[in-house]
Amino acid sequence: MQNTGMTSVVVEPGAMAAGAAYVGRFAPSPTGPLHRGSLAAALASWLDARAHGGRWLVRIEDVDGPRCRPGAEDAILAQLAACGLLPDLPVIRQRDRAAAYRRALDALRARGLAYPCACSRRAIEEALLQRGTAPERHAERIYPGTCRAGIAAGTPDGPRAWRLRVPEGAAAHVDWIDRRLGARSEAVDRAVGDFVLLRADGIWAYQLAVVVDDAEQGVTDVVRGEDLVDSTARQILLQRMLGYPTPRYFHAPLVRDAAGEKLSKQTGAAPFAPGRDALAQAMRDLGLGSSGAPTVAGVLEDAAGRWRRMQREV
Ligand code: GLU
C-alpha cells in the first residue's frame, strides 16, 4: 500500500533496539516436519545471528493446537540439529505462554484498545456485502467494525473473539525498512482493520503471540520467509500499542517448486533429508552459491562467510 500519510512515523530498522545485543530466532509452527523452504528460512536466521555475533533462539509456535501434528516438534528439532543449527538457549513453546498473552490483552483492554466481537465469519461477509465491498475469494477480509461500539443488544451470549481497536489515519500508518526488501508501508486500518487477538474458540492469534514472544525474548532481528511480510505492519503496530521495541526485519526469499508455487506444508512439500546436502541446497536457495565442503560444519562455515560478504555489499 502506498504511503499517503505525511505524518506517519518511520520505524528505522532497529531504532528501538539500538545498542541491544543481537538476538535472532527461528519460529516454526509444528504442523509438520520442515521442508526445503523452511530450512532456508532457518539457515538465514542462523547465519544472520552468527554474522552479528548474536544469539539464535528457536521458538515452537504451537499456539494453534488443532493445526499442530503430534511428533512434528521433535522432528523439526531433530532436523535442525542434524544440520548443525542448535539454539543458544532452551527452546520455548507457545502452549506454555498463555499467561503472557493474557497480560498483553489485559493491558490493551485496560486502555480501551481491545474489544469483544460477536461476529461470525458469515456476519462479517454479509456486513461487507451490504456496504458494497464484496470480499474477494481468499482475499483478506477487512473487519467492517460491527462490534467496535459494543456488541448489539439482544446478541445471544456465547464465546467472543477479541479484536484490536486499530487507530485511524496517520496513527495506523506503518512505514518500515526491510533489510532485504527496502522501504515498506501499510495503512493497517485500511489494509486489515481491527484484527483478532484472541479467537472465539480460545486460541491466541498468531499476531499477538509473536509480538509478545519477540518482545519478551528480547529479539532484535526477525529473519523469516517473505510469506510473512504482510504481517509485519500489524506486528509493528501492536508493538507500538504495547510499548515494545521494534526489531529489525529481513524477509528471506521464498523457495518455489518447478511450477513457481511457494513450498509449504499445506501443499504437501516433502520434508528434507537432513544433513550436508540439504544444507548446501538451502545455501543455494538463499543465493549464497554452492559449497564443496563435505561436512555439515564445512557447509555452515562457507555459508557464514558468504552471508557476511553479502551483508557488507548491501
Ligand atoms: N510460525 C510462523 C510460521 O511457521 C513463523 C512466524 C514468524 O517467523 O514470525 O510460518
Q: Would residue 265 show up in a list of annotated catalytic residues for this protein? A: yes
Residue ID of nearest Cα to ligand 1 atom 7: 27
61 CB under 6 A from ligand 1? yes
**CA dist 56 → 89, 163, 238 (Å):** 8, 32, 23
| Contact residues for 141 (Cβ-Cβ < 8 A; gap 6+) | 124, 125, 128, 135
Per-residue model confidence (pLDDT) at position 140: 67
Name the residue with higher pLDDT: 266 or 159: 159
| pLDDT, tens only, 115-164 | 999 998 888 888 888 887 766 655 667 899 999 999 989 998 988 999 99
pLDDT tens per residue across span 224-262: 999 999 999 999 999 999 999 999 999 999 998 878 888
Output the CA–CA distances (angstroms, integers) from residue 126 to 13, 121, 207, 250, in the order listed. Answer: 40, 9, 25, 38
Which atom of ligand 1 is the closest one to the Cα of 25? 8
Establish whether residue 296 lines the binding site of ligand 1, counting it when its CB lies within 6 angstroms of any ligand atom: no
Is the CB of residue 83 below 6 angstroms from any atom belonging to ligand 1? no
pLDDT, averaged across the chain: 90
Q: What is the pLDDT of residue 258?
A: 78
Q: Is 29 in the pocket of ligand 1 (CB under 6 A)?
A: yes
Would you say the pTM of this structure is higher than 0.75? yes
Residue 274 Cα to ligand 1 middle (Å): 20
- Show the cell assigned to 255: 523457495
Residue of higher predicted confidence among 311 and 78: 78
Tell me whether strands 55-60 and 92-93 are parallel, antiparallel or unpaired.
Answer: parallel
User: Of the listed 163, 265, 276, 306, which one is catalytic?
Assistant: 265
Counting residues of the chain whose pLDDT is more than 70, the rounded percentage is 90
